[in-house]
Amino acid sequence: MSGDTPAPSRSLAGSQAVQASSRPASARYPAELVTTVRWNNETITIRPIGPEDEAQHRAFVESLQPEDLRLRFFNTRPPLPPSELARLTHIDYVHEMAFIAVRRLADGSDHTLGVARAVMDADGVDAELGIIVRSDLKAQGLGRLLLSSLIAFLARRGTRRLIALVLHENLGMRSLATSNGFVLDTAASDAQALCFVLDLASALRQIKPPVAPAHPIEACGPASVSRACATPARSLQ
């Protein structure tokens, strides 16, 4: 549950990852899903990932500590090959969705702080969760913000259940899951990982909308879709 791509090859994960990698990405970026929120006394953007995020997404993944990657992928990870990086940023927003938290620095560059991703099954009933934040920003509420955006998106599109596989020793993600309404499915759990399930219809009723800043920030999405946003945006780096 604590990572970027869908969980390891068991349960839904194996088949969904293969399906997602073979799907053509949609050309339309969902700019209506871009939001700005206050977090840790700063304004950040939470928005769907896009093709133009490849470089900053690589930098984000490379910044993660090996132990955080192990907790997410259930093993150590080699550097991402270009093909996998492209798959992670070129998604169709129908069968797969990923929200990223983005900080804009004074020099105009954007940095990814975290990502929450869901891959849907063939009929759209279930989705599998992956979520990870920058190693130095854990336990500061960023994962909860990303998860809330993802839950709201999935529930409103009609997905019924969000499923997360979590290593037993991943106490942080176990806490995030249970505090957000996930229920442990003991029948689907095993000696390696716990299976948590969230009823999305119930979860949507409990979500509190994020606090928007008094003055929207300029950047609201990748450069190719910035004109579609309500707030004028400079091109993202």
pLDDT at res. 4? 57
Sheet strands side by side (includes 126-133): 35-39, 42-48, 96-104, 110-120, 126-133, 161-167, 193-199, 183-184
- Contact present, 72 and 2 (Cβ < 8 Å): yes
pLDDT greater at residue 80 or residue 212: 80
Q: Mean pLDDT over residues 11-26, rounded?
A: 43
Q: What is the mean pLDDT of residues 149-159?
A: 94
13 falls in which pLDDT band (50, 70, 90)? very low
Beta strands in the chain (DSSP E): 35-39, 42-48, 96-104, 110-120, 126-133, 161-167, 183-184, 193-199
Q: Give yes or no for residue 71 having a pLDDT over 70.
A: yes
Q: Which CATH superfamily is domain 13-228 in?
A: Gcn5-related N-acetyltransferase (GNAT) (3.40.630.30)
pTM of the model: 0.78
Average pLDDT, integer, range 134-155: 94
Q: ∠ at Cα 111 (101, 218), nearest 5°?
A: 75
CB–CB of 200/159 below 8 Å? yes
Which of 10-19, 183-192, 196-205 is modeled with the greatest confidence?
Answer: 183-192
Highest mean pLDDT among 6-15, 64-73, 82-91 belongs to 82-91
What digits encode the pLDDT tens for the residues 97-133?
999 999 998 898 899 999 999 999 988 899 999 999 9
